[in-house]
């Protein structure tokens, strides 16, 4: 397989995320549209899951916005611009959610992998989308925990997608709206959460995972073109294996062909210009 030379950041991320799935996965992503954060939070995961279905994981189930089961993305003429937009009822899919919760059973472990993003993430994978500063007298009040708590507590595992920025990657979050590995892997086990917790944190410059004992975030791979210093400068906590990480593999010609011609022929998911 030939490695491609020209590819976008989004294609690099989609291809590498696609390799994180198993054939029996049920993958849950929200739906937000707009800027780079939105593309990374929902369009990249969607393209990645679809690519996995077209390669090594044909039996995987995609839950778009948690509600549309296995949407036929190639039939889309526009992407609904939010989860509950009236037009989203018309997306071609195998099953849809009419109420909440249904049809999936989250406490029974139906959802094996999820995607989330937040205002802050800390060195032990705790996430925050509630507030900056003290909860009762916040400097900035944000939207709230939403489903993030359940993503990290109940889903089989979680892949977090966030732009790498010092103010977002902090030693300790201001409010734990979703739990990572407080007190390490052992500390998490004592909490009795049924899900395994965060597995990867995919950013625009690198991919992190979590230490197998301490649960602390560590480098998994650095994207082509970036140095360990680039990563250190944008991360608000110390990275213990800064110089040991491999390079994130570039997409192959075949993977790019599938993304551009079969999965997203109209360029609705992954903007081609970045």
* Residues of the shown chain interacting with other proteins in the complex, contacts defined by CB under 8 A: 32-34, 67, 81-89, 96-101, 106-107, 126, 130-131, 135-150, 153-154, 175-179, 182, 187-188, 191-194
Please state the closest distance from residue 107 (CB atom) to other proteins, in A: 8
Please state the closest distance from residue 88 (CB atom) to other proteins, in A: 7
Nearer of residues 67 and 270 to other proteins, judged by Cβ: 67
Sequence-distant (6+) residues with CB within 8 A of 218 are 208, 209, 210, 211, 239, 240, 241
Nearer of residues 165 and 230 to other proteins, judged by Cβ: 165
Nearer of residues 162 and 178 to other proteins, judged by Cβ: 178
Cα angle: 116, vertex 79, 147; to 5 degrees: 25
Please state the closest distance from residue 228 (CB atom) to other proteins, in A: 31
* Distance separating alpha carbons of residues 247 and 253, to the nearest angstrom: 18
Nearer of residues 76 and 142 to other proteins, judged by Cβ: 142
Please state the closest distance from residue 259 (CB atom) to other proteins, in A: 25
Please state the closest distance from residue 13 (CB atom) to other proteins, in A: 22
Nearer of residues 21 and 104 to other proteins, judged by Cβ: 104
């Amino acid at each position: 397989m030939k490695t491609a030379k020209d590819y976008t950041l989004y294609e690099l991320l989609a291809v590498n995320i696609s390799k994180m799935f198993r054939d029996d996965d049920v993958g849950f992503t929200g739906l937000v549209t707009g800027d780079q954060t939105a593309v990374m939070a929902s369009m990249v995961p969607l393209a990645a899951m679809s690519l996995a279905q077209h390669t090594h994981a044909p039996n995987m189930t995609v839950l778009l916005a948690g509600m549309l089961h296995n949407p036929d993305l190639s039939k889309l003429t526009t992407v609904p611009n939010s989860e509950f937009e009236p037009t989203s009822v018309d997306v071609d899919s195998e099953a849809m959610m009419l109420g909440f919760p249904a049809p999936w059973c989250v406490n029974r472990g139906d959802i094996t992998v999820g995607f989330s993003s937040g205002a802050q993430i800390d060195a032990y994978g705790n996430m925050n989308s509630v507030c900056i500063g003290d909860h009762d007298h916040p400097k900035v009040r944000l939207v709230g925990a939403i489903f993030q708590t359940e993503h990290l507590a109940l889903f089989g595992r979680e892949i977090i997608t966030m732009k790498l920025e010092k103010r977002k990657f902090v030693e300790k979050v201001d409010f734990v709206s979703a739990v990572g590995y407080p007190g390490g892997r052992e500390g998490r086990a004592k909490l009795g959460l049924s899900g395994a917790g965060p597995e990867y944190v995919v950013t625009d410059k690198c991919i992190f995972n979590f230490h197998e004992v301490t649960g602390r975030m560590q480098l998994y791979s650095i994207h082509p073109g970036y140095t360990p210093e680039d990563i250190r400068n944008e991360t608000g906590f110390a990275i213990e294996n800064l110089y040991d990480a491999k390079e994130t593999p570039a997409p192959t010609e075949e993977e790019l062909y599938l993304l551009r011609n079969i999965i997203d022929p109209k360029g609705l998911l992954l903007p081609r210009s970045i």
